[in-house]
Structure 1
Amino acid sequence: MQSETQFIARYAETDQMGIVHHSNYPIWFEAGRTDFLKKSGMANSKIEELGILLPLSHIDCAFKSPARYEGEIMVKTPLWEMSRARIEFEYEIVKDKGGAPTAIGGASHARADKSLKPLNIEKKLPERWCILKKAMG
């Protein structure tokens, strides 16, 4: 499964040259992850209501070409890898409806309880574990 999240690059996200500032890409990654989780059947807010947190443990981003003000942006988000205590997403940000990639990256999130202790998702939510395993293909 892969989610596709679309939006327009906003003025506040750009620098003086009209190019999207690099600090926005992690925010766009988060939008893709949030959309992926919602489309897979359990929104991040629901996950948190169940006492499960997804603290970020690693993020990377490689910039390919600039995104610009008012450009159409799509964040493609597949689930890349998953273990009982970790979930990893890949991201590809493309511009202008399927145009050239502007950035690619990835992020790893631990699964933790509210005290930030590692949590085994297969034991805590076995049905959710199965859904996410299917989403990986």
Structure 2
Amino acid sequence: MFQYTTKLRVRYGETDQMGYMYYGNYAEFFEVGRVEMLRSTGLTYRWMEETGIMMPVLEMKCRYLKPALYDEEISVRVTIEKMPGVKIHFKYELFNEKEELIHVGETLLAFINMKTGRPSLAPQEFLDQLKPYFE
């Protein structure tokens, strides 16, 4: 299992009149978590695209437990529970500054060959970076 945590602050423009983060912005926090998780392996989304692979989101699930509040620093924990193949499944847990679990979510992404538009296996270099976490 591979886990990575990053922190983001809820900005004013991401909130509604109650000071709660707008529900659609949680997907952006998921994306930041995924991007930073990949960067932590020494690779980047840019590298992935340069190798000819894109990763569209196929599914997203969310469960709102408590609101993320304006100016609050949110910890985004991203977990990959099994080695990816043609698809990769991410789980997310968001915690507020009091370390309370406020949100859970999941996304399923596919590895797509940009030249053919067809599903592809994850790049070997990416799998090599993840392998130690699943042994």
Give the alignment's TM-score, normalised by structure 2.
0.91
Alignment match, 1:80: 81
For structure 1, which runs of at least 5 residues remain unmatched after alignment? none
Alignment match, 2:130: 132
Q: Secondary structure at the match of 1:17?
A: coil
- Residues 41-80 of structure 1 aligned to structure 2 (within 5 Å): 41-80=42-81
Alignment match, 2:109: 109
- Partners of 1:80 and 1:107 in 2: how far apart? 12
Please provide the CA RMSD for this pair: 1.5
For structure 2, which runs of at least 5 residues remain unmatched after alignment? none
- Partners of 1:38 and 1:136 in 2: how far apart? 18
CA shift, 1:130, in A, is 2.3
Alignment match, 1:7: 8
CA shift, 1:136, in A, is 4.2
Alignment match, 1:31: 32
Alignment match, 2:17: 16
Give the alignment's TM-score, normalised by structure 1.
0.90
Q: Secondary structure at the match of 1:83?
A: coil
CA shift, 1:27, in A, is 0.4
Count of aligned positions: 133
Q: Secondary structure at the match of 1:81?
A: coil
CA shift, 1:80, in A, is 2.6
